[in-house]
DNA sequence: CAATTATATATAGAAGTTCTAGGTATAACT
DNA sequence: AGTTATACCTAGAACTTCTATATATAATTG
């Protein structure tokens, strides 16, 4: 389990990217998928996930539709058109940031 | 300039790594070094740096000594023994986190 | 030589994200 | 029957970083 602070700033991008890759997902599914993809090192808590999803919806980046599964309602999240554009930008930015971080961790200037 | 959130959780590791690499540095020098290493994409503000440095000192990871430069006092920060151990751990953790992030961004499980 | 910019340290309060802890409910397993 | 997994949600706390501000010296520029 990584120290919690590391996730800050990347959670939204992670959610968007998973939605982009899988089409539609529900909340619990996202937490489990991240758990698996991270080999149990990133455990997203509900108290982190749902506020993040709701903010994404408020911002118009995701939309929801509900399906009945057995006796209960399952809420699926998927990207809007705006969300698709934003995902691409955010993933690019994160990739660049990772590159910059690696330069700093080796104390090498990005510019040759 | 990256969105501010990305830096969260990594600033302390960045500072520790720079101190580890350069022996001793003063505050302003750290901001300028990060600016150069990141090709102007990470601009650490004073309001971020000094609280972070003071916390590192409170936690016993860095120590300070002051030198006169011209007419003014310059405060140098350097790693304590505890700080050196902690730096190694934190840098390793960050490297692993970056690896995990890259798996997630391609939606590939870490475990084969 | 006056004004601006760069150097240099610091703090208070705001803003934002994620976590802890709690609540609710169904389904599956033992 | 009791526990665990599934599934959604919220309030308030905790933490980090930022904005804005204060102070002061040194160097540059018009």
CA B93 centroid distance within chain:
14
Average pLDDT, chain A: 91
| CA–CA distance, A5 with B86 (Å, rounded to integer) | 16
pLDDT band at A74 (very low <50, low <70, confident <90, very high): very high
Does any domain span residue B110? no
Strands A62-69 and A72-79: antiparallel
Residue of A nearest to B105 (CA): A17
Q: Å between A111 CA and D13 C1'?
A: 42
**Nearest-by-Cβ selection for A110 from B38, B94, B109:** B38
Through-space separation of residue B104 CA and nucleotide D21 C1' in angstroms: 42
Q: How many domains does chain B have?
A: 1
Question: What's the rounded Cα separation, in Å, for the pair A62 and A81?
Answer: 9
User: Interior CA angle at B103 toward B33 and A99, to 5°?
Assistant: 20
Q: Dihedrals φ, ψ of A3, to 5°?
A: -60, 145
CATH number at residue B46: 1.10.10.10
The predicted-structure confidence for B4-45, as pLDDT tens digits, reads as follows 778 988 999 999 999 999 999 999 999 999 999 999 999 999
Question: Would you give the end-to-end CA distance of chain B in angstroms?
Answer: 36
Expressed as residue numbers, the domain containing A70 is 4-105
Mapped onto helix, strand or coil, the DSSP state of residue A26 is strand
Residue A110 domain flag: no
Residue B59 located in a structural domain: yes
Residue A65 lies in a domain: yes
Strand partners, B26: B76
Compute the distance between CA of residue B108 and CA of residue B99 in angstroms, rounded to an integer: 11
pLDDT in tens, B69-100: 888 889 999 999 999 999 999 999 999 999 99
């Amino acid at each position: 389990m990584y120290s919690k602070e590391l996730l800050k700033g990347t959670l939204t991008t992670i959610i968007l990217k998973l939605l982009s890759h899988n089409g539609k997902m529900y909340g619990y599914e996202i937490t489990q998928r991240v758990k698996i993809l991270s080999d149990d090192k990133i455990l997203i808590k509900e108290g982190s996930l749902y506020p993040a999803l709701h903010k994404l919806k408020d911002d118009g980046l995701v939309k929801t539709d509900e399906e009945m599964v057995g006796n209960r309602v399952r809420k699926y999240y998927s990207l809007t058109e705006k969300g698709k554009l934003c995902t691409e930008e955010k993933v690019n930015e994160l990739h660049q940031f990772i590159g910059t971080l690696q330069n700093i961790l080796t104390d090498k200037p990005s510019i040759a």
